[in-house]
Amino acid sequence: MVSDQLLKPATPEERRRYYREEWDVKDIPEFISNSVQKREFGFDHMGRGPNDRYKVFRNMDLLRKFLRYRAPFAAYSSVAFYEKPQRRDGWIKSELVFDVDAKDIPIRECGCEGVCEVCLNQALEIVSSLIDTLKGDLGLKDMYVVYSGRGYHLRLFDESVMTMDSDVRGQIVQYLSGAELPRNEYAAEGVTYKLEHFTIPFGYPQVFTDRTRYAILHLTTETQLDEVNQKLLKDVIKNRELLEDNQWGIFRSKIGPQRYQKLIRSIASLNMALVDAKVSIDLKRILRLPSSLHSMVSMKCTEVKNIETFDPFKEAVPKFVYERKG
């Protein structure tokens, strides 16, 4: 079974075979190749992290020769564009990136210790919901999804976001994640109205409702939430099918108003971990190079052309895995 041979480290010989027999420089997406001269590249040759940094390639052929000859354990490129990438000097702009790692999803159905098909599917569901919000709420369009080997990178190239500083990027992460409780009091003509988040079908309240629904529908009896005891957790799981039909008011009444507030406060705190905020706010981050080998798990870092049909266990498996002996 191929699945039995995956998620195991690639040997040096397998890495050499991959880069010399299977990998093609044309597999690197255009959003990298079109800006290769402006990016910093980094490499991990021994499986100890990317300590070979500040590499620059004048063209794709030089990058091709380097990867073919060195067959690194891992290859990376910067999200930043520089005037002098060999010194990371003269910053021009950076991609806005959202990193969804399957092993770090705050509420996982699988309970596995690493990554598996179930949590990778969950990660892709989260990426899909982020895309919907980015397009629908923020009007962003120029984006790409890359399977990283253990999760997904959502990479944005809209000019309006590429020059944003770290603080603004952090605010976008909070908005997308549903990491803050939306306000529930609104004033008009001297009158104050109290509205629950699920009664407002647009803007941040809608985002928070969507993220909260997703979290509640994926809770397990083993999930630990700060303000949620076992009795409340059991009641939530017992009644959560109401949320599949958006019957939030009935769900809230069955849980109880005070306990419901504890629940959504806990969910908001948990939602911040949907994406790795450190990656999103880091203007000089390096990410795995699409088409390169994630040697720790023997899978290809692969651009996702169709998010609806992508299957990493079919599209991101190098040929040498099929030839391994059990």
Instruction: Give the chain's end-to-end CA distance (angstroms, integer).
Output: 8
3-state secondary structure of 292: coil
- The pLDDT value recorded for residue 4 is 56
Instruction: Answer whether residue 1 shows pLDDT above 60.
Output: no
Question: Rounded to the nearest 5 degrees, what angle is found at the Cα of 237, between the Cα atoms of 130 and 261?
Answer: 70
Q: Which residues contact 238 (CB under 8 A, 6 or more apart)?
A: none
Which tokens hold the place of 117?
């098909």
Residue 248: alpha-carbon gap to chain centroid: 28
Segment 40-90, tens digit of pLDDT: 999 999 999 999 999 999 999 999 999 999 999 999 999 999 999 999 999
Q: How is 188-238 classified by DSSP, letter by letter?
A: ETTEEEE--GGG--SHHHHHHHHHHHHHHHT--TT--BTTB-HHHHHHHHH
Instruction: Read off the pTM.
Output: 0.93
Calpha distance 152→234 (Å, rounded)? 32
In the chain, the domains with their CATH numbers are 1-165+283-326 (3.90.920.10), 185-274 (1.10.8.160)
pLDDT > 70 fraction of the chain, expressed in percent and rounded: 98
Which tokens hold the place of 14?
């397998």
Instruction: Answer whether residue 3 shows pLDDT above 60.
Output: no
Give Cα separations from 48 to 53, 74, 161, 224, 295 (angstroms).
13, 10, 33, 33, 12
Residues annotated as part of the active site: 99, 101, 276
Which tokens hold the place of 263?
């629940």
Position 235, amino acid: D
pLDDT > 90 fraction of the chain, expressed in percent and rounded: 88
Question: Rounded to the nearest 5 degrees, what angle is found at the Cα of 184, between the Cα atoms of 181 and 186?
Answer: 135
Calpha distance 93→101 (Å, rounded)? 24
Segment 298-317, tens digit of pLDDT: 999 999 999 999 999 999 99
- pLDDT interval class at 109 (50, 70, 90): confident
